[in-house]
Structure 1
Amino acid sequence: MELGAFSISLGVKDLAKSKTFYEALGFSQFAGNEDHKYLIMKNGETLVGLFEGMFEGPMLTFNPGWDQSAGELPSFEDVRDIKAKLKAAGLDIQNEGGGDSGPGSFMVIDPDGYPVLIDQHR
């Protein structure tokens, strides 16, 4: 199963402070918008999403159809196909979004309570 680009998404209390912290670690702003309370920070191929007030704690995020630079992959496994495989494996699917094609998302929770978001943008 190909899940696409990987990042850790963090629910942060103060976006500006978090941005400054990750910049000190060598990350730079890659995407996002401070006015919309989120930033995607990048260091090499490593991505960290900073989201103020959107959720608590850490969340693993995968983006089918994207490489680590948010470039579109020529072919990829659709989010609905991934969801069907995970349902067949007995996982509980939560927060489903999207239609029959194009963008879509869902979440599963790992055995230790960490959310895993599968979020397809195209």
Structure 2
Amino acid sequence: MKLGAFSISLSVKDIKASKVFYETLGFSVFGGDLEQNYLIMKNESSIVGLFQGMFENNMLTFNPGWDQEAKTLKTFDDVRDIQKHLKSKNIKLENEADDTTSGPASFVVLDPDGNVILVDQHL
């Protein structure tokens, strides 16, 4: 199964303070919009998303269809196919992508310890 680009999405209290902190660790802004309270920061192949006021808990995030540079992959597993596979293995989904659609979609699943995993396809 190809899950695409990996990042951690952090729910932060003060996005400006978090931006400065991660810049000190060698990260630079790769995407997002500070005025909309989210930034994607990158240090080599490591990606950290900073999100203020958008969700409650930190999440592991996978983006089918993207590499670590957010460039489109020639081949990838569609989010709905990944979802179908997980459901066939009796994995409970917290929310689901509409399997009658194509293109951008996402679903959320929890690992056995309650860690949130977002599978978010942008194409």
What TM-score results when the alignment is normalised by the length of structure 1?
Answer: 0.96
Are positions 1:35 and 2:35 aligned together?
yes
Task: Look up the equivalent residue of 1:88 and give its one-letter code.
Answer: S
CA contact (8 A) 2:9 2:49 kept: yes
Shift of 1:22: 0.1
Q: CA RMSD in A?
A: 1.0
Are positions 1:58 and 2:58 aligned together?
yes
Shift of 1:48: 0.2
Shift of 1:101: 0.2
Structure 1 gap segments, 5+ residues each: none
Q: 1:85 to 1:97 in 2, by over 3 A?
A: closer
Shift of 1:56: 2.3
Report the count of equivalent residues: 122
> 2:71 corresponds to which residue?
71
Are positions 1:112 and 2:113 aligned together?
yes
Consecutive aligned runs of 4 or more in structure 1 exceeding 3 Å deviation: none
Structure 2 gap segments, 5+ residues each: none
Q: Percent identity?
A: 60
Task: Look up the equivalent residue of 1:65 and give its one-letter code.
Answer: G
Q: Deviations over 1:24-80 (max 9, x none)?
A: 000000000011110000000000000001112320000000000100001100000
CA contact (8 A) 1:12 1:18 kept: yes
Shift of 1:119: 0.1
CA contact (8 A) 2:57 2:116 kept: no
